[in-house]
Chain A
Amino acid sequence: KQEVTQIPAALSVPEGENLVLNCSFTDSAIYNLQWFRQDPGKGLTSLLLIQSSQREQTSGRLNASLDKSSGRSTLYIAASQPGDSATYLCAVKGGGFKTIFGAGTRLFVKA
């Protein structure tokens, strides 16, 4: 049974800092891993998708890596801004076409 864990659960950083969010999963037989952002009471915004054959993806200030063998993914955010404050979720799509989410990391960037 796939389990997805995100560490830390919450993070508060000053504006301008570079930061790393972690996601680990127990079953390496996955199709892909996707990172999302969620603002309070809203739906999910897709940030990056990494297919199982890929090692990393980049979009602007965001970089996501995937190490299937160790069951880990990281989301790197460069030069954080107050507008980056949100909950960040990782989701793994695997066997049975099930998508399993972590509980999220709540990020607060202080101006």
Chain B
Amino acid sequence: GVTQSPTHLIKTRGQQVTLRCSSQSGHNTVSWYQQALGQGPQFIFQYYREEENGRGNFPPRFSGLQFPNDSSELNVNALELDDSALYLCASSTDSGGAIHEQFFGPGTRLTVL
């Protein structure tokens, strides 16, 4: 399955944070989402074969990396209080013209003080 680390994280405003995700084996696509309390997840971006190929309405201080070994990272610079949320990653096996089911990890709960 999809795993994420750490489970919980507390940071101070202005700091930087890196969240990690391990995709399901063989999946070539990973997406990251931010979920505020009581809301649906908001799409941050998607990586396909290590290249970003889709992005939501998030500023450039949200960046990511996807590695060939089924792992990926979400980096957030200059943390703001509003960045406090549950961060979810999802992986899938996409191919030319075929977009497949997304499988989600348990999430990382980020608190910014």
Contacts and interface: CB of A to CB of B under 8 A. Distances in A.
A86 to B, nearest CB: 14
- How many interface residues does chain B have, given as a range? 20 to 34
B54 A43 contact: no
A99 B102 contact: yes
The DSSP consensus for interface residues of chain B is: strand
B107 A97 contact: no
A97 B100 CA distance: 11
A43 B3 CA distance: 10
28 contacts: A34-B101, A36-B104, A41-B109, A42-B106, A42-B107, A43-B2, A43-B106, A43-B107, A44-B88, A45-B104, A46-B103, A49-B100, A49-B101, A51-B99, A89-B40, A89-B41, A91-B40, A91-B102, A93-B99, A97-B53, A97-B54, A98-B54, A98-B55, A98-B56, A99-B46, A100-B43, A101-B41, A101-B43
A103 B10 CA distance: 26
Interface residues of A, number: 25
A78 B69 CA distance: 41
Contacts of B101: 34, 46, 49
A94 B30 CA distance: 16
